[in-house]
Amino acid sequence: MPIQFRCSNPACRQPFTCPDKMAGQKARCPKCQTVNQVPASAAAAASGGQIRLGPYKVVRKIGEGKMGAVYEAVQEGSNLRVALKVLPQRMMGDAHSLERFQREANAAAGLKHPNVIAAYEIGRDKGYVFFSMEYIDGENLKERVKREGKIRASEALGIIRHVAQAMDHAWNHGKIIHRDLKPDNIMLTREGQVKVADLGLAKSTEIVTEVTAPGTAIGSPEYMAPEQFTNARDVDCRADVYSLGITLFIMLTGRRPYQAKTAIEYLALHRDVLFPDPRELEPEVPESVHRLLQRMCAKKPEERFQTPRELLSEVERLLGMPAASPAAQPESAVASSDELTLAVTPAAGTVSPSHAPSPPEAAASALPPPAPPSAATPVGAPKPSASPAPAPASAGEVTPPASSPAAGVIDASQETRTWVETGGADRLARQRRRKRLLLAALVLAAVLAAAALYFVLRFKA
């Protein structure tokens, strides 16, 4: 929806229109050339640029992921910047999406570590469910690699070390795994800190949950371990080790180890094709780092590093650092006292979180027109035996069935098994071999033709 607003120059006040993709960005007035801040949405423009969710004033949209949009916002009273993650309204009627969103907030809140983005509170206002978290002033690793092309081995290992520390902390506090580690979810601050973000697909292997169905794949196919394609519910920290290995390869070479178009093709590559040698693309990669990658990305989980602590110890050894101290004793579950419980007081729009925010610093996207406020249903408490009743859909809106997969879930189990059973991987490998042989034959023919032409011209001369 186009965003219409007036120039901020009092002497001009020229009305003009920007496409919604420019929400939160800068635009120059066509009349006086004054640079204006485009409102976060058409609704914000209509209300003078002011959108609030609970105690937060939305400033601009930062990005959007599988489990919602992220906005930069300011906490009223303290004027501190936070990032607000807002669940899309299309998911409000899906009990699975609500529970997954609540789990993301609880996972972040239960992990207090310098390499994990901190979460502060969760609430509901104006028909939206959201939670606030630490704002990161910087960029993600994907943006860094895109800008610089490659990262030298020593610095790349340093980034892996910090992510492994976050993984180790999560594993020792509730056996939490990420399941979607990739450059997009590794943030780099201006001060050089490394922060792991987007715990939307995280799960605790100590807590029984029905959110992920057996035989379902969850994550990003480019980075997923082979076992994660067919049963994401039963994977452990070794799947995160694999994904982190793919991320290390990208840092060293500037490209992914496997290129494909579909999840099925990625499954075949991750499972059957030998992991490439990064030195073919970047000769300066040390042999020791090549061996590290081969172990991180082994096809079988039992051949990888068995815990984040084991990986961390090897990375620190390669960096010439002293041996890491023994891991802290794991707790029985994610710190229950830090769980974020959604609650709304009878006064409309008043957010009453059970976990008060600490002074945050944050990161966040433009809001669709809000639905009317409705009675809140707590989603932070322990899961009841019956699934929460879906929120009523507004006119013309289709409420997803509770059994439908949430965003980010790849229902590839049956399709994958059928493809594997019918020899799909073998066919794909044969097709690639034929292409390589054809290319080699064409090159040879071109060389022979050039040689023949050379001798003909020489004899004529």
Contact 247, 183 (CB under 8 A): yes
Q: 272 catalytic, yes or no?
A: no
Strands 68-75 and 138-140: unpaired
Instruction: Please say whether the dihedral angle defined by the alpha carbons of residues 357, 139, 89 and 210, taken in this order, is positive or negative.
Output: negative
Yes or no: say if 445 and 293 are a contact pair by the CB < 8 Å rule.
no
How open is the CA angle 20-21-22, to the nearest 5 degrees? 85
Cα separation, 232 vs 224, in Å, equals 10
CA distance 306 to 313: 12
Which residue out of 94, 125, 180, 184 is catalytically annotated?
Answer: 180
Give DSSP secondary structure letters for 422-440.
Answer: TTHHHHHHHHHHHHHHHHH
| 402: CB partners within 8 A, 6+ apart | 94, 95, 96, 387, 390
Closest CA to 90 of 107, 54, 66: 66
SS3 136: coil
Which residues carry out catalysis?
A: 180
